[in-house]
Structures are given as structure tokens and as C-alpha cells.
């Protein structure tokens, strides 16, 4: 089954590992109860309960669902990239030691990498390519 279709801008973020401009994403100042899923493959990534206001210009989460996110060294040698563990889509970066929350972790995520499913609505089936 093929992944969800993406716009050119979404492909640039998710496949080419770009970053949307700070403050431009629809989920930066968005606080509704539900689940954030991968826009490319529908895999559940973050609970809205883990979202917090970091003031960085991107949605911030202090933890992901178990085994949902991969951490990889960023080519810049300074940061750690995060990807969807199911499809490898670029999500953003993770930062440790900033003391924003008890977990001491900030997943800084591009809104264009995410879809939101409001609590009470059924999650779409995760797409797994072979």
C-alpha cells in the first residue's frame, strides 16, 4: 500500500529533511486533546498530553509513543534528527537538557510532518510499505 500523498511543501519537509519557518505551522499554538500521527504513513507519534509550549516556533513534545520515533545524528554534527520509526519521514529534531519539563526532552517537530486526530475519533490505519 503506498504512503499518503504529500504536497510539494510536505515532501520538501518529510522527504528532503527541510524545516518549515518558525511560527508558521498550524500545530505550534494548538492544544486540543488527541493524537498526533505521521502525515506520510499515519503512525501514531505523540499524545497531545506530551505537548507543551516551548516558545520555539514549532510544536514541542516531551515524549513520544514507545518505538514511534527514531533518533539519528544530524548531518550538521550538532543536533539529533527525529524520524518516524515506521516510514523514515523527517519530523524535526530532539533536544535534551533544556529543563522545560520533567523528562528534560523537547521533540521540536514540523507541523507539516504531522496530522492530528481529535480524541474520540478513530485513528487511520498505519501504512506499512513492504
- Give the model's pLDDT for residue 122: 97
Report whether pLDDT(1) > 80. Answer: no
Look over the chain and give the mean of its residue pLDDT values, rounded to a whole number. 96
Helical ranges in the chain per DSSP H: 8-14
Report the topology of domain 8-118: 2.170.150
Active site residues: 108
* pLDDT confidence band for 130 (50 / 70 / 90): low
C-alpha 68/C-alpha 29 separation (Å) is 23
**pTM, to two decimals:** 0.95
Amino acid at each position: 500500500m503506498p504512503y499518503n500523498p504529500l504536497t510539494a511543501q510536505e515532501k520538501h519537509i518529510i522527504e528532503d529533511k527541510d524545516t518549515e519557518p518558525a511560527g508558521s505551522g498550524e500545530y505550534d499554538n494548538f492544544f486540543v486533546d488527541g493524537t498526533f500521527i505521521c502525515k506520510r504513513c499515519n503512525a501514531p507519534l505523540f499524545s497531545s498530553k506530551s505537548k507543551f509550549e516551548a516558545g520555539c516556533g514549532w510544536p514541542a513534545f516531551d515524549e513520544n509513543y514507545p518505538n514511534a520515533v527514531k533518533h539519528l545524528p544530524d548531518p550538521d554534527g550538532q543536533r539529533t534528527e527525529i524520524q518516524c520509526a515506521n516510514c523514515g519521514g523527517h519530523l524535526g529534531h530532539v533536544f535534551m537538557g533544556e529543563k522545560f519539563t520533567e523528562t528534560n526532552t523537547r521533540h521540536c517537530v514540523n507541523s507539516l510532518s504531522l496530522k492530528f486526530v481529535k480524541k474520540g475519533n478513530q485513528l487511520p490505519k498505519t501504512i506499512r510499505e513492504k
